[in-house]
């Protein structure tokens, strides 16, 4: 496989890289970023241009090896034409190094974690794959994120080896780590709000003593944000204050405005001009009871709806409400008035 690299400097350096055969994604950009010569303008001192040209192989070597090309050879030429210079590089890349063996072992409590198998199966660079140093670093990064997300905060690598055998065209990966014990959630430290702390804990749906899980933190944030009581929610696991494998959680809440009004106007061929007014009171009391009212007016149909809403034991999925509906309809054929009283128990199963 050959790679042809042409570098032409004008007033502003220009570099053109072409592959004689299909290149590898990212290699062209990596070669360009490593080549110091490419930054030299036409009027650069010739001594410096010659020196950087002579050192070009040293610039290219890390870029080539990062993509598994350990046996690349280069032919190069440098010429000065008029007031500028031109350099060309022709690469014989050779075969890419491939992974001969990949061993990843995790000791500690994480070895029994039910999600570890899926993480290991999704790691890049399986046996037989072309070597890519960036993906090797990605393996270590993915394992580190897994540990942080699942609460193995003492996770540490005990062995990190990438051995490359250029003459054989193969590489071996050996990674070993000790996860340590899994941390647990500590107390929820809740900032002051108009609501009872007990209601907020029911909304949070996270109990102290449960194994630490970043997904549970995200769910806690989402549960509080979706409740409708708060303008902003910030959940802070205090890892710096962890003690005896317990991580306290700070919950910073900014209440939404207690009263909310919405006004609307429109027109339709059935009812003509119409207007609407909606009012919500989010904090009737510290237990999270709410009042919701909606008024709609038009020449044909007008209505008023009110609801008193009470959170259930699990406010995310259960509520009780008492309401009334008043309606007045005046069309071409009849006039009617109606009153409806409503008692509702709502359970959201999630489906």
Tens-place pLDDT, residues 261-315: 999 998 877 777 889 999 999 989 999 999 999 999 988 889 999 999 999 999 9
Closest CA to 185 of 215, 156, 143: 215
pLDDT of residue 21: 58
For the chain, the C-alpha Rg in angstroms (whole number) is: 34
Architecture of domain 184-255: Roll (3.10)
What is the distance, to the nearest Å, from the Cα of residue 187 to the centroid of all Cα atoms in its chain?
26
Contacts by 20-24, CB closer than 8 A, 24 or more apart: 24/67, 24/96
Tens-place pLDDT, residues 231-273: 999 999 999 999 999 999 999 999 999 999 999 998 877 777 8
Cα separation of 244 and 239, whole Å? 12
Average confidence (pLDDT) over 143-171: 97
User: Is the pTM here over 0.75, yes or no?
Assistant: yes
Q: Which CATH superfamily is domain 98-178 in?
A: membrane protein fhac (3.10.20.310)
Instruction: Give start-end residues of each CATH 3.10.20.310 domain in the chain.
Output: 98-178, 184-255
pLDDT of residue 28: 84
How far CA 120 is from CA of 7, 111, 130, 162, 287, in Å, comes to 43, 11, 18, 17, 46
Which residues is 163 bridged to in the sheet? 172
- Residue 180: phi and psi, rounded to 5, are 70, -175
- Is the CB of residue 232 less than 8 Å from the CB of residue 256? no
């Amino acid at each position: 496989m050959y790679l042809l690299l042409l570098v032409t400097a004008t007033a502003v350096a220009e570099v053109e890289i072409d592959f004689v055969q299909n290149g590898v994604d990212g290699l062209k950009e990596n070669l360009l970023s490593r080549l110091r010569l490419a930054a030299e303008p036409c009027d650069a001192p010739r001594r410096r241009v010659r020196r950087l040209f002579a050192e070009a192989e040293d610039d290219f070597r890390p870029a080539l090896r990062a993509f598994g090309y350990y046996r690349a050879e280069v032919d190069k030429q440098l010429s000065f034409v008029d007031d500028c210079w031109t350099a060309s590089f022709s690469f014989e890349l050779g075969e890419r190094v491939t992974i001969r063996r990949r061993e990843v072992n995790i000791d500690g409590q994480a070895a029994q974690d039910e999600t570890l198998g899926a993480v290991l199966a999704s790691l890049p660079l399986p046996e037989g794959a072309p070597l890519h140093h960036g993906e090797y670093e990605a393996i270590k990064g993915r394992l580190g994120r897994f540990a942080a997300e699942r609460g193995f905060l003492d996770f540490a690598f005990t062995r990190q080896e990438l051995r490359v055998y250029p003459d054989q065209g193969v590489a071996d990966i050996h990674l070993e780590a000790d996860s340590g014990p899994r941390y647990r959630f500590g107390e929820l430290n809740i900032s002051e709000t108009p609501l009872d702390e007990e209601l907020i804990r029911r909304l949070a749906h996270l109990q102290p003593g449960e194994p630490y899980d970043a997904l549970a933190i995200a769910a806690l944030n989402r549960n509080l944000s979706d409740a409708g009581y708060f303008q902003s929610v910030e959940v802070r696991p205090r890892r710096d204050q962890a003690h005896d494998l317990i991580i306290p959680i700070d919950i910073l809440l900014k209440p939404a405005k207690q009263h909310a009004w919405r006004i609307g106007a429109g027109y339709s061929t059935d009812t003509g001009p119409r207007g609407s007014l909606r009012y919500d009171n989010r904090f009737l009391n510290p237990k999270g009871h709410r009042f919701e009212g909606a008024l709609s007016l038009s020449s044909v149909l007008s209505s008023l709806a009110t609801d008193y809403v009470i959170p259930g034991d699990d406010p995310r999925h259960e509520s009780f409400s008492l309401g009334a509906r008043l309606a007045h309809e005046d069309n071409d054929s009849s006039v009617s008035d109606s009153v409806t009283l409503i008692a509702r128990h709502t359970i959201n199963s999630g489906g």
